[in-house]
Amino acid sequence: MSSASASPVLVAAAPIVEPERIVALDAVRGLAVLGILVMNVVEFGLPMRAYDNPAYAGGTTGADRWTWFTQVTLFDGRMRALFSMLFGAGIVLFAQRVERRGGNAADLLLRRCLWLVPFGIAHRFALQWTGDILYAYGLLGMIAIAFRGLRPRALMVIGLALLACFVPKALLEHRDAGALRARAAEARAIAERGETVPEDLQRAQRDWERRGSIVPPKPDATKAEIDAMRGSWFDVAAHRWNHNHQFQSAFLYSYFVFDVLGMFLVGMALMKLGFFAGACRRSTYLAAIALGVAAAGASFALARAWEDEGYSYAAIDVRLLRDLGYPFLRLLGALGWAAAILLAVRAGALRFLTAALSVVGRMAFSNYVLQTVLCTSLFLGWGFGLYGELSRAQTMLVWAGATLVQVVWSVLWLRTFRHGPLEWCWRALTYGRRPSFRRA
């Protein structure tokens, strides 16, 4: 075949080149990948319930207390929301570029998402990272592709509607918990009168008391988990086997299908409106920052209210308020972060910071997996075995070290290569041919 006849195909189905990159989008993506480790490092290094409950492990006083407040106010869920919106934005951007060249965007997008699925399986089961999102992104991304032709308003409405599905879910869970609390109170009242408590009420009382006794945990409650995580790869795999399967099955369609897919569609709408390209009015970004600050204030107030309840899971009324607001506070917080970075890039301010974020964002896939390699090597048994040893505040030192490694590695790597290693593999699998790797 002559080069002339092959040319249209190659042009239509080719990875983007550097001049086509949107620096502002890379910088926001870099923020998301570095920021997501602020919360993930807690799950890497402490017993699982410590992720959202400082009374379970990690400490509730001094620096540990304020670390938790900072996490839940500024980072918890916000970076994942930002990551998800950026993935949706990437679908729109990818499709626009392919279609502009006359290529088949749907075919390439489906390949792109399908290849994330085996990456996610390997990430979770081979590297033993319970918080993998690649698998969910691959599967739900294939659904999001079908919506890419919709107008921004329709995408935004559907995305917000999916996030709003958490409202009835929270109300139903609170209703069931409230009924359990009422039956436990009835059991206590009967016992105080000296009467025989029916078996079903005794069971309800035990279940309610168990809910309230999770924190602080009994020593043997965390010992089995800590021992397993400090063991061999096979010990870790056996301990997490059921959790990992549940996370990629039941949790996928009971939570991520609303959370991740909803954020995908919102991100697609915002990309079409020019938000993530830094093309909106300055007042739009300032409003997003103001809403992000308000969301942070609301999250802090809810965290303080839960602290006053002793971080108890029996504080179901406080938890209801938190669950009702969580999807939307995350969304607003994520947009506030993005707006701040986009304004900085557009104004040419904080260039050292935005440049560092941009190089990390260009290798977001590789850096996301690198975080797993670094943290599992430090915390789990086949590495230094520090699982359960550090306090919450001390895990932030790990985050700082990992951040430095990612920035330096990204800068050095991109001096020689055009793509991160996993980005290059992903592109090669998507296009069915190897893109250029080394710089000329």
Q: What is the pLDDT of residues 186-229, one digit of tens each?
A: 999 999 999 999 999 999 999 999 999 999 998 888 999 999 99
At 287-316, the pLDDT tens digits run: 999 999 999 999 999 999 999 999 999 999
Residue 20 has a pLDDT of 54
Domain assignment present for residue 392? The answer is yes
The residue behind tokens 């909803």 is 262
pTM of the model: 0.92
Mean pLDDT of 407-433: 95
Mean pLDDT of 27-39: 97
Contact 331, 264 (CB under 8 A): no
Domain assignment present for residue 51? The answer is yes
Overall number of domains in the chain: 1
At 62-100, the pLDDT tens digits run: 999 999 999 999 999 999 999 999 999 999 999 999 998
Domain assignment present for residue 246? The answer is yes
Domain assignment present for residue 437? The answer is no
Domain assignment present for residue 209? The answer is yes
Is residue 13 predicted with pLDDT exceeding 70?
no
Contact 16, 22 (CB under 8 A): no
Contact 47, 222 (CB under 8 A): yes
Mean pLDDT of 13-34: 77
Domain assignment present for residue 439? The answer is no
Please state, rounded to an integer, the average pLDDT across all residues of the chain.
Answer: 93
**Residue range(s) defining the domain that contains residue 69:** 3-431
Is residue 7 predicted with pLDDT exceeding 70?
no
Phi and psi at residue 417, to the nearest 5°: -120, 155
Domain assignment present for residue 52? The answer is yes
Domain assignment present for residue 436? The answer is no
Contact 377, 346 (CB under 8 A): no
Residue 435 has a pLDDT of 86
The confidence band for 247, taking pLDDT boundaries of 50, 70 and 90, is confident
